[in-house]
Structure 1
Amino acid sequence: MNIMPQSRKGMVAAPHYLASQTGAFILQSGGNAIDAAVAISAVLGVVYPHMTGVGGDSFFLIHDSKTGTVNAYNGSGRSGMRATASFYTKQGFETIPQRGPLAAVTVPGMVDAWEAVWKKYGRLAWEQVMLPAIRYAEEGFPASPSLARWTVRDLEWLRQDTYLRETFLRDGQPLSEGELVVQPRLAEVLRGVSAEGRSYFYEGAFSRRMGAATERDGSPLTADDFAAHRGEWVEPVSTSYRGHDVYQLPPNTQGFSLLMMLNMLEHTDVSAIARFSPEFYHLMAETVKKAFRDRDRYLTDPAFRDIPLDRLLSKAYASELWHELQSSPQAAEHLSAMMGQDTAYAAVTDDEGNAVSFIQSLYFDFGSAYVPDGCGVILQNRGSFFSLDDRKPNVLEPRKRTFHTLMPGMVLKNGRPYLLLGTQGGEGQPQTQLSILTGVIDYGMNVQQAIALPRWLYGRTWGDVSDTLKIEHRSYEDISSRLEAYGHTVEAVRDYDALMGEAQGILIADDGTFSGAADPRSDGLAIGI
């Protein structure tokens, strides 16, 4: 298990050690948690390019120490004006392609989000916040174990794109851990953002060049779509759980599904159930299914379809679901949608009481595996999750945000930040957060112990033809047959398998001490200052 650092001045937890180091440096340089978060986010887009980058989306939950409020920024992009179901069906597609230019359906929202949260809360100069990412892109960094592994897994896709082949392969072969990765074109983009802010990425000559390239290559995105993009401040959604206030981003994210799960679990004493028992995993899987049923029924861009959040998050509705869950001892049938899982989550706190929980992604590993010519930006394929079926709530329509898996979490206790948490892993994000939350609140664990717990994962990712209940091997041997008797299809995965998510967390004790934790399944590090 990783060492759990503790500090009274500030804490950083990120899935890559260079990003964590950057956050600590920014805090030590006089920046606040928001400055550090933006710097970490930018560095992750350089050193964790298989999970995130400037061509992707991000979401921020921020506790403002001056007002005592929790504010949220939705940094997800909308589909292009030309992006319609018929755009694809007329070309013979039954679904949106997962890779290539046609998978690049939505505008990247991350650069806009950086500037928005920094302008509202940041203290250091913008150029100072951007500088670490520029340096890592320009001077290079050693390939982490995770990056090296993903160049092996994605070799076919990396070879098909000139930029990806030249940047992340060596003579057409995967990277070795520790090999230097240099990204001069990305450094140029970051320098432009540093000098001109978001306008460089969305409204200037660079964005026009990028939009022309995407249009030429067949993507529905154009320069006009980049120019039209604006993220937005939104009201977070929350629920209470055993005396704690749990916050998430509202739709278009799946964050509300976790809140539904917590509302159901309040009807039982979770701590009375042995954490490694078949009864525990069965209860969690069935609770997840109830929430996912409504998530899949309603979740999309709320500007396009009414989502009855008041009802879904009510304690009365949770009581209905709980009684429905209890009415049958067997596993319910629910076939979840296949979705990507490649994401980067990080958290920062400072000694002023500010706290930032944020998450970002390209959706799939290396996103669309497509880089517009000469731009150095890997575009996300988040929009490939849109449906082409107009009977589905998440049907593709122009200027629409898709169903989003990204969901940073924040827990307040007595009105003050208590726990920041989040993870990589599409379907697994609410489930891993549920594991951590119950570990801390119900089982009394510290944040590192809760993150290191054996995990379950109900659902499927791309390539899976059926839902399974995946369980890390440490708790598998003695319980698989009993879970199968409940009706689950059980699958064992390795201990500390990255498939089960890469979580980070910060817990703040009543006396103000920060405890930070990075997932042993990741390349991450928690650093206290």
Structure 2
Amino acid sequence: MRNFHLAGRSTVHARNAMVATSHPLAALTAIDVLRAGGTAVDAAVAACALLGVIEPQATGIGGDCFALIQPKGEGKIVAYNGSGRAPMAAKPEWYLERNMHTIPLTSAHAVSVPGAVDAWATLLRDHGKFGFDSLLQPAIKAAEEGYVVAPRIAFDWKNGFDKLKKGTNTERYLLPHGKPAVAGDVIHQPELGQTLRAIAKNGRDAFYKGAIAEDMVETLRGIGGLHTTEDFANHTTETTVPIGTMYKGHDVWQCPPNGPGITMLVMLNILSRFDLTKFPAMSIERFHLEAEAARVAYMMREQRIGDPAQVEVDVAGILKEFADEYAGKIRMDAMLDLPKVSPPMNPSTVYITVVDKDRNVCSFINSIAHSFGSAIVSNKTGVLLQNRAAGFRIQPGHPNCIAPGKRPLHTIIPSLVTKNGRAVMPFGVMGGQYQPVGQCHVLTNMFDYGLDVQEAIDMPRGLHYENVYQLEDGVPADIVAGLKKLGHQTTSVIPPLGGAQAIWIDWDKGTLTGGSDPRKDGCALGY
């Protein structure tokens, strides 16, 4: 139980419905939709559209979306892959002929076709009661009438100042008065509001065809991009089957590749070979094991995962044989000797979880990749475009090598935990490359150490990334010293690692328990 003498957050409890998001206005918007009779998907789309305005560094209609949906919290789980594709002209030879071996993060080549709007439309078609005409109104109002900047968003805005100064149209759209927004500033984005109005009136085609798509293509081609209006018009969302594994009697589900959820499942399968309860939750041993599992899983991901529409991905073999092989190699007294892994992406994102009164469950994530995406805003529409295609390799033969119409290896992963086929926790952890580690950290905090959803989210975190163990300030000095003795190079992090949301479903009591990360501005709300 939480010590009420100390700073912290209580879990949030409700009987009817609940939402957890990274911004209180988005949570309130979702509750308004639920109270009006909307479904979990209706609420998630309305909240996400609003976040695309008021949390512009992390998400927007210029980005991508993944979701896991379980109607009525039992039975078939559906995975939605709303990731965009490379232009049809994006052949690896084109880049190599120009001596390009990586894709610059703020170039037109970093922009894949945004998949979010089509994903929202597909989700609403399958699981919604309302349409864009009503669900986008809060976002339209915020863009046109103005919104107040929240503290964490201001923190990210300040850190992104140099990037925005050098971007395409970003100074005009995202640097009011030539300075980064600070907490309490009121920001207006009328051009984005008009774009949202067009989508509200004419649906997804308003974004992928006609004037808006033409403006995005014109903007990108004007700075060297290979995009065409056909690339936008031909975009589709994939509906598929989730992949999963069992941990501590619970099934844990992820979207399949090109989503990176398999990374988290490999980590869980490795950690399941160890009895974490032998070590305290805050201990050298626990942090060491988490780091070693992450290093192995991330190595696998960078070597073996790509778009399964264009390369073969052995999901079953990776989850079983690969995890078994490396779990047996992990030592408690030293680090494994593994090749250095340098993933090309470390983006930002927003995660939303919603459970409605009918217990429809929605685990939903939306991102423009790096903070402020590509720093390219479409000339007339106010759409800030993602830089997800910078996640491709330019390395023929690599499973994640760029190719025409190919989807890049992603970083965003919504998750869903079930027990005996019934949903018990839709959850996610934002934060770029941290997400698989963050999900394992939260889940093991709960299932191995008995913490509630809020305590599990609050606990200090670490990420072993590019051969350095990045540790939050809350990790005690003796643990840091112990990790160094085992060979880990450690450093502190400036932004905190990620941000989590979770809802626990108690079917016996008929209640919902929500948690939301204090590392962000948001909250869980229920009624």
1:67 Cα offset (Å) = 6.3
Q: Distance in 2 between matches of 1:512 and 1:66?
A: 12
In the alignment, what sits opposite 1:278? 284
In the alignment, is the contact (CA less than 8 A) between 1:282 and 1:331 conserved in 2? no
1:383 Cα offset (Å) = 0.2
One-letter amino acid of the counterpart of residue 169, structure 1: L
Stretches of structure 2 that go unaligned for 5 or more consecutive residues are: 1-7
In the alignment, what sits opposite 2:5? none
Task: Say whether 1:484 aligns with 2:489.
Answer: no
In structure 1, the residue corresponding to 2:30 is in which secondary structure?
helix
Stretches of structure 1 that go unaligned for 5 or more consecutive residues are: 461-466
Task: Say whether 1:264 aligns with 2:262.
Answer: no
In structure 2, the residue corresponding to 1:313 is in which secondary structure?
helix
In the alignment, is the contact (CA less than 8 A) between 2:132 and 2:199 conserved in 1? no
Match among 2, 7, 18 for residue 14 of structure 2 = 7
In the alignment, what sits opposite 1:463? none
In the alignment, what sits opposite 2:4? none
One-letter amino acid of the counterpart of residue 503, structure 1: A
Q: Distance in 2 between matches of 1:435 and 1:67?
A: 25
Change (3 A) 1:478 1:67: closer
In structure 2, the residue corresponding to 1:363 is in which secondary structure?
coil
Alignment of 1:445-464 (within 5 A): 445-460=451-466
Task: Say whether 1:524 aligns with 2:519.
Answer: no
Q: Which moved more, 1:59-68 or 1:406-415?
A: 59-68
In the alignment, what sits opposite 1:93? 100
In the alignment, is the contact (CA less than 8 A) between 1:254 and 1:404 conserved in 2? yes
Cα offsets for 1:414-456 (capped at 9, x unmatched)? 3221112112212210001011000111111110000001111
Q: Distance in 2 between matches of 1:486 and 1:248?
A: 32
Task: Say whether 1:506 aligns with 2:503.
Answer: yes
In the alignment, what sits opposite 2:340? 335
In the alignment, what sits opposite 1:431? 437
Structural RMSD (CA): 1.7
Change (3 A) 1:283 1:66: closer
Q: Which moved more, 1:473-482 or 1:42-51?
A: 473-482
In structure 2, the residue corresponding to 1:240 is in which secondary structure?
strand
Cα offsets for 1:99-143 (capped at 9, x unmatched)? 032322x10000000000001010124312121111111111001
Alignment of 1:9-408 (within 5 A): 9-65=16-72, 68-104=75-111, 106-161=112-167, 163-314=169-320, 316-326=321-331, 329-338=334-343, 339-408=345-414
Q: Distance in 1 between matches of 2:305 and 2:73?
A: 33
In the alignment, what sits opposite 2:470? 470
One-letter amino acid of the counterpart of residue 19, structure 2: V
Q: Distance in 2 between matches of 1:418 and 1:132?
A: 30
One-letter amino acid of the counterpart of residue 321, structure 1: Y
Q: Distance in 2 between matches of 1:433 and 1:81?
A: 34
One-letter amino acid of the counterpart of residue 64, structure 1: P
Change (3 A) 1:66 1:452: closer
Q: Distance in 1 between matches of 2:166 and 2:333?
A: 50
Instruction: State percent identity of aligned pairs.
Output: 37
Q: Distance in 2 between matches of 1:402 and 1:508?
A: 34
In the alignment, is the contact (CA less than 8 A) between 1:341 and 1:424 conserved in 2? no
In structure 1, the residue corresponding to 2:455 is in which secondary structure?
helix
In the alignment, is the contact (CA less than 8 A) between 1:55 and 1:379 conserved in 2? yes
Q: Distance in 2 between matches of 1:381 and 1:254?
A: 17
In the alignment, is the contact (CA less than 8 A) between 1:504 and 1:518 conserved in 2? yes
1:364 Cα offset (Å) = 0.8
Q: Distance in 1 between matches of 2:390 and 2:477?
A: 37
1:161 Cα offset (Å) = 4.0
Q: Distance in 2 between matches of 1:489 and 1:66?
A: 43
Q: Distance in 2 between matches of 1:4 and 1:228?
A: 44
What is the TM-score when the length of structure 2 is the normalising length? 0.95
In the alignment, is the contact (CA less than 8 A) between 2:330 and 2:336 conserved in 1? no
In the alignment, is the contact (CA less than 8 A) between 1:331 and 1:488 conserved in 2? no
Change (3 A) 1:329 1:94: closer
Change (3 A) 1:13 1:394: same
